[in-house]
Amino acid sequence: MSETTRLRGLIRRFAGTRVLVIGDLMLDQFVWGDVSRISPEAPVPIVRVRHQEGRPGGAGNVVANVVALGGRADACGFIGDDSAGRALSNALAEAGGGLAGVVRSRAVGTTAKTRVIAHSQQVVRFDQDPDGDGVPARLARRLRAWVAAHARRYPVIVVSDYGKGVVTSELLADLAALRHRHGFHYVVDPKRPNFAHYRGASLVKPNLAEASVAAGLDIADRASLDAAGRELLRRWEADAILISRGEEGMTLFKARARAHHFPTAAQEVYDVTGAGDTVLAACALALAVGGTLEEAARLANQAAGVAVGKVGTATVSARELARALGNHP
């Protein structure tokens, strides 16, 4: 059986595979328009609005990508009892995501990012990132209890950490113990505040800058990249580390194995927004259906190549991914 045939077989098995996505749920709003003149009031473009839409962002975009690839994803995180929270709940439902693990509360606000796009180029972005004292302890305990009660139902659990307060050291410790008990696959997209707390995952997926900081090494060449990957395997006690390197592709590290480099599969790059979420979803599904770490990384690399060719917080379908394999043997 050829590698491409094997990978396409894995993609077909994505259908109906259950994934739990834990992390920071956000609303990505897009304002699409045209620019034909500069404002007489200030040297800024005037955007004539043509269309507006809201999409799941942050961990919600991982949910949307899992569903687009054929899986069944349940979201787990916090949503504020506010207008952005209601729009996010609707966007998740429209994308096909489950809300079983979502805690809605007036005690938290909903993070929203609004991008104004004209002629396929982002003009400006507005962020609504609620201030406050973080997530109340009672809500954090409620979420951890839900995860502990339901983790065994999922063949793979994803942590999408955007540093907004959902992912805590206590939750990460719980997940490491739950994986040891139940044997599910466990995939992490890390953020700096929790670098000291990731332990025991199947795969951790930092980008190049995150890997450099987490390993305490300046990554300047292949040798320093290899040293960083080995250090992260040790520190995070992970089965594998997948470092995304932008236009250089990705590099997979496993214990007692040589690093495996995957050149970028992108043909055209319009927007890198959310590409990491696409990688996370593809890795999670591939591992859940029996793919190796190398196969998961290869599929994720191809999926990222499709995602960056789209504008906005994009998803990639199973059909698009299978077609990409034919273009890039």
Taking only the tens place, the pLDDT of each residue in 282-306 is 999 999 999 999 999 999 999 988 8
pLDDT, residue 308, reads 76
Place of tokens 């002629």: 119
pLDDT, residue 132, reads 60
pLDDT, residue 265, reads 67
Active site residue 221: no
pLDDT, residue 270, reads 42
Q: Which tokens in the block code for residue 105?
A: 């509360």
* C-alpha pair distances (Å), 160 with each of 65, 186, 268, 274: 13, 11, 26, 12
> Is the pLDDT assigned to residue 279 strictly greater than 80?
yes
> Is the pLDDT assigned to residue 269 strictly greater than 60?
no
161, 189, 271, 277: the catalytic one is 277
pLDDT band for position 271 (50/70/90)? Answer: very low
The percentage of the chain sitting over the pLDDT mark of 70, rounded to a whole number, equals 93
Question: Is domain 3-35+46-327 in CATH 3.10.129.10, yes or no?
Answer: no
> What is the average pLDDT score of the chain?
92
- Who contacts 30 (Cβ-Cβ below 8 Å, separation ≥6)? 52, 53, 54, 55, 114, 115, 117, 312, 313
> Is the pLDDT assigned to residue 327 strictly greater than 60?
no
pLDDT band for position 30 (50/70/90)? Answer: very high
> Is the pLDDT assigned to residue 143 strictly greater than 50?
yes
The domain ranges of the chain are: 3-35+46-327
> Is the pLDDT assigned to residue 13 strictly greater than 80?
yes
pLDDT band for position 329 (50/70/90)? Answer: very low
Q: Which of 127-136, 171-180, 248-257 has the highest mean pLDDT?
A: 171-180
Rounded Cα gap, residues 161 and 285, in angstroms: 18
pLDDT, residue 130, reads 77
Given a contact cutoff of 8 angstroms between Cβ atoms, the answer to whether 314 and 305 are in contact is no
Q: Per-residue DSSP letters for 106-156?
A: TTS--EEEEEEEETTEEEEEEEE---SS-S-HHHHHHHHHHHHHHGGG-SE
> Is the pLDDT assigned to residue 267 strictly greater than 80?
no
Mean pLDDT of 267-278: 61
| pLDDT, tens only, 61-116 | 999 999 999 999 999 999 999 999 999 999 999 999 999 999 999 999 999 999 99
DSSP state of 268: -
